[in-house]
Amino acid sequence: MHGQAVVAGVGESTYYVRGRSPDSEFQLTCTAIRRAVEDAGLDLAKVDGFVSYMDQRNDPLRLAHALGIDELRWSNTCWAGGGNNAAAAVQLADAAVSGGYADTVVAFRGLAQGQFGRFGRPRGLSNAAQGDMGWKAPYGLLSPAQECALHTARYMHDHGISQEALCDISLACYANAQLNPRALRNGRPLTREEYHESRWIVEPFHLFDCCPENDGAAAIVVTTPERAKDLKKSGVPILACAQGLGPKYGFHAFQEKYLSGMFYGNVGEAIWQRAGVKPSDVDVLQLYENFTGPVMIALAEMGFCEPGEVEAFVANGALEGPNAKLPFNTSGGNIGEAYIHGFELVNEAVRQVRGDSTCQAKDVELSLVVGGPGYAPGSAVLFNRA
């Protein structure tokens, strides 16, 4: 059934620094959905499905009511925390439309941390830490940055990778954000010197290795090719999707067989096999970067290069700008555009196929977006030109 469903439109709210949104999370989410449906030229009332991920607070029935939906026929969400499932949400929409369960499904993510508190803050911490946190909190291991740092440090040690590899990834995100008026880092370029002089958050991550926390919403509309035929813009086909479910969760991630790496290998295998293409066929890549380390690991685990070649692969501006060797996070990504838990990367991947990115790669046939940050489940979607 691959290639059956298409993305007919993309939309987003204005993006804000965390806590600065004048609108509620629900308002931001409705705005993004409305704009995606307008972009598609579809009738809002005819949306008949909603999918999201990561404990989405914006209930599909509340959305259906507020948006004047005629009939809701599909609502679903992916399990697990983090932005891992940003691309898996698209897969759910694809499954609904390709399976004939719904005709016009919106996949989205919205968050306003001013309204609901910081997403990444340690939870469940009283005097006695429960469950998984009980193994970590007594040792001061509390944040995703710290966990990703332990994997990244070991990976760099094993494969002889220097800090410059992480720097190059961050520089690409900042450079691309300078071309994107939506990006929160637009007008705030970054130099290699500033990167190295910036404070450590947790070694090997400097401040600029970490994505900021932001508020906003992003959405896409997935529909059938028949319905998309009459629309003002041609739809972008969903060529293949993958979810990487596996045993590496929580504290298990630090065990010997998982420590030096993350969780992109099986996502890569699945997406290449389903699409019948290889990494070097990809024209433009959006890769979830909560931190730069997982990007470096994902490039190797998904087969773009060998682990020992990662530093050379990203060096000399190889990821930077529309004419890069591999155009990467062309909107600026989580680091440069806004951290909408990776869904802004999905919008950008679609724009690259349509040819209306602010950092448009040439002759895009295959556009890949990968959800992260490396803990199971990972996810990916490959879009292609119609």
Partner 1 sequence: MARHFGDDWLIPALDPFNESWFTAGKITVQSCDDCGVFQHPPEDVCGSCQGTALSFVECSGEGTVESVAVVHHPVHPGLSDHCPYAIVVVSLDGAPGANAIGNILNRDPGDISIGQRVRAVFEPAKDAKTGADLLIPQWEVV
Residue 165's nearest CA partner among 308, 337, 286 is 308
Cross-strand pairs, 344: none
Minimum CB distance to partner 1 smaller for 73 or for 252: 252
Q: Please choose, out of 92-100, 109-117, 256-264, 282-290, the segment that lies near partner 1 by the rule CB under 8 A.
A: 256-264
Residue 143's nearest CA partner among 212, 198, 202, 86 is 202
138: contact with partner 1 by CB under 8 A:
yes
Over the window 178 to 217, marking each residue x when it contacts partner 1 by CB under 8 A and - when it does not, the resulting string is ---------------------xxxxxx-------------
- Backbone phi and psi for residue 219, each to the nearest 5 degrees, phi listed first: -150, 155
Map the footprint of partner 1 across residues 276-315, applying CB under 8 A.
none
153: contact with partner 1 by CB under 8 A:
yes
Q: Which of 15, 53, 339, 375 is catalytic?
A: 339
Q: What is the largest CA-CA distance in the chain?
A: 60
Q: Please choose, out of 60-68, 140-148, 235-243, 275-283, the segment that lies near partner 1 by the rule CB under 8 A.
A: 140-148
Q: Please choose, out of 33-41, 148-156, 301-309, 356-364, the segment that lies near partner 1 by the rule CB under 8 A.
A: 148-156
233: contact with partner 1 by CB under 8 A:
no
254: contact with partner 1 by CB under 8 A:
yes
Q: What DSSP character marks residue 338? A: -
- Residue type at 229 in one-letter notation: K
- Residue type at 188 in one-letter notation: R
- SS3 label, residue 325: coil
- Backbone phi and psi for residue 56, each to the nearest 5 degrees, phi listed first: -60, 125
Rounded (5°) CA angle 271-274-280: 55
Q: Is 288 a catalytic residue?
A: yes
Size of the site for partner 1 (CB under 8 A): 41
Q: Please choose, out of 137-145, 170-178, 190-198, 324-332, the segment that lies near partner 1 by the rule CB under 8 A.
A: 137-145
316: contact with partner 1 by CB under 8 A:
no
- Backbone phi and psi for residue 372, each to the nearest 5 degrees, phi listed first: -140, -155
- Residue type at 201 in one-letter notation: I
Cross-strand pairs, 285: 328, 368
Alpha carbon distances (Å) from 72 to 138, 213, 293, 321: 46, 32, 40, 41
Tell me the residue length of the chain: 386
Over the window 89 to 128, marking each residue x when it contacts partner 1 by CB under 8 A and - when it does not, the resulting string is --------------------------------xx--x-xx
255: contact with partner 1 by CB under 8 A:
yes
160: contact with partner 1 by CB under 8 A:
no
- Kindly list the catalytic residues: 288, 339
For binding to partner 1 (CB under 8 A), which residues are involved? Answer: 121-122, 125, 127-132, 134-143, 145-146, 149-151, 153-154, 157, 199-204, 247, 251-252, 254-257, 259
